[in-house]
Structure 1
Amino acid sequence: MKLFIGYATTEGQTQKIARHIADRLFDMGHMIELSPVADAETMDLTRFDGVILAGSLHAGHYQKALSGFAAQHADTLNDMPSLMISVSLAAAGHDADDWRTLDTILSEFGEATGWTPGDVAQVAGAYAPSRYDVFRRFIMRRIIAAKDPEVDLDSDREYTDWDRLDALVDGWLNNMSV
């Protein structure tokens, strides 16, 4: 299959996740085109059998580049197999309110862009104080201290469950083939 994987990233974890998916699917024999969505505005998505879009949540919103891309290509995206990879630290936890909030944000994203992903994978991101500005570092330290009291607040920590991510993508791919 020929698949497009587009992503928007702020600190780099979503790019790492998109690249991991692309490498894995390529190794499985699929043709892959990987690109930041900001560089793919004129992309003809009809050339592909399916699309994976990945973006991360910050202050309750995805990156503008992802929202803009999804809105611009909504009609095409809605007519083909698609998977949304939603990356957030909330996906690392088990708090029911956090998961309801993730669902609400995704619903609002769909209303704003006109795209309803065929499937969605909520994927845990990373805490990366080494990449934050002073303001973001202050906010993120407070959030992480409340959610993961044992963590070293001065060290980067990856929460992404790579095996779970692989299983989610495999499930989507298998459903495409049916």
Structure 2
Amino acid sequence: MMLLIAYATTDGQTRKIARFAADRLAGQGHAVELLCVEDAEGLDLSRFDGAILAGSLHAGGYQKALVRFVTGARPALAAMPTLFLAVSLSAAGGDPEDWTGLRDCLKAFEDQTGWTPGRTEHVAGAFRFSEYDFFRAWAMRWIAGRKGQAVEPGRDREYTDWAALALVLDGWTAGIRGGAASAG
């Protein structure tokens, strides 16, 4: 199968997740095109059998470049099996209020773009202190403290469950091959 993996990233964790997905699927014999949505202008989506999109949630919304890409590609995305990897720190925990917020943000994204993914998986992100400026590092330490998370300034902390993500990818591609994956 020919698969597109298109992502938007703010601090680099979503790019790392997209690369993991590309490596995993290419290792299974799929042809994979990995690209940042900012480089996807004019991309012919009709040559793909399915698409994985990945974006990270920051301050209640996904990246503007992801919103633009999805809005423009909506008809083509609706005609193929899709998987949306919604990356956030909130997905690392079990707080019901956080999960309600994640669902609300996803609904807002769907309303904004007019696109409903065939499947969505919330993927835990990371604290990427190596990428933050002083003020962002301070804000992220404050957020971590509110959630009872111990973080060391200047030291990244990853929450992504790579084994679980591998199972999601394997299941999604198996569904495409079996004809069970829905377009969307």
In the TM superposition, what is the alpha-carbon distance from 1:8 to its structure 2 partner? 0.5
Give the Cα–Cα distance (whole angstroms) in 2 for the partners of residues 95 and 5 of structure 1.
Answer: 29
Listed one character per residue, the Cα deviations across residues 8-44 of structure 1 (whole Å, up to 9, x for unaligned) are 0111110000001001100100000000011012111
Aligned length: 178
Q: What is the CA distance between 1:172 and its match in structure 2? A: 1.2
Cα distance between partner residues in 2 of 1:53 and 1:16? 13
AA of the residue aligned to 2:64: K
1:53-103 CA deviation, whole Å, 9 max, x = no partner? 001011011111100000000111111100000110000000011111111
Deviating beyond 2 angstroms after TM superposition, the runs of 4 or more aligned structure 1 residues are: 148-154
Give the secondary structure class of the aligned counterpart of 2:71.
helix
TM-score under structure 2 normalisation? 0.93
Match of 2:14 in 1: 14
* Unpaired runs of at least 5, structure 2: 179-184
Matched, 1:23 2:48: no
CA distance in 2, matches of 1:44, 1:13: 26
User: How high is the TM-score relative to the length of structure 1?
Assistant: 0.97
Over the residues paired in the alignment, what is the CA RMSD in angstroms?
1.0
> Counterparts of 1:18-167 in structure 2 under 5 Å?
18-167=18-167
Between 1 and 2, higher relative CO (CA 8 Å, sep ≥ 6) is seen in: 2
Partner SS state of residue 73, structure 1: helix
Q: Name the aligned partner's letter for residue 42 of structure 1.
A: G
3-state SS of 1:165 partner? helix
2:144, 2:150 within 8 Å by CA — same for their partners in 1? Answer: no
